[in-house]
């Protein structure tokens, strides 16, 4: 069956460190993969998109990698800040344009 797995346990890190979040998928051949941020009670906010033929994408303190052999994407936030605390969602598009989301990983950045 098709699955998108993100670490369900919350990730707690210290301010200034790099946070690394993982998204693994099975039985998908995604055309591209996206990362969204979601704050409690709010809608997802788009962060980054990476296509199947791209290995890495960066935007300011954010970096995404995509390994279609391992079927994995890693999402990095460098120099993390308390304001980065949120739930981070990975989402695949594999045919059509509907997004299929993972369950998300909650990140907490502590002072």
Partner 1 sequence: EPEVTQTPSHQVTQMGQEVILRCVPISNHLYFYWYRQILGQKVEFLVSFYNNEISEKSEIFDDQFSVERPDGSNFTLKIRSTKLEDSAMYFCASSENRDQETQYFGPGTRLLVL
Which residues of the shown chain bind partner 1 in the complex (CB under 8 A)?
32, 34, 36, 38, 41-46, 49, 89, 91, 93, 96-104
Query: Among residues 1 and 111, whose Cβ is nearest to partner 1?
Result: 1
Minimal distance in Å, beta carbon 84 to partner 1? 19
What minimum distance in Å lies between the beta carbon of 42 and partner 1? 6
Q: How far apart are the first and last CA of the chain?
A: 41
Least Cβ distance, residue 95 to partner 1 (angstroms): 9
Three-state SS for 5-58 is EECCCCEEEECCCCEEEEEEEECCCCCEEEEEEECCCCCCEEEEEEECCCCEEE
| Complex with partner 1: residue 3 or 17, whichever CB lies closer | 3
């Amino acid at each position: 069956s098709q699955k998108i797995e993100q670490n369900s346990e919350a990730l707690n890190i210290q301010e200034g460190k790099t946070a690394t979040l993982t998204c693994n998928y099975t039985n998908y051949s995604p055309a591209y993969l996206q990362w969204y941020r979601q704050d409690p009670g709010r809608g997802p906010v788009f962060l980054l998109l990476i296509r199947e033929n791209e290995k890495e994408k960066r935007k300011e303190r954010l970096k995404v990698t995509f390994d279609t052999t391992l079927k994995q994407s890693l999402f990095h936030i460098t120099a993390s800040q308390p304001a980065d605390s949120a739930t981070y969602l990975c989402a695949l598009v594999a045919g059509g344009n509907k997004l299929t989301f993972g369950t998300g990983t909650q990140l907490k950045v502590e002072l």
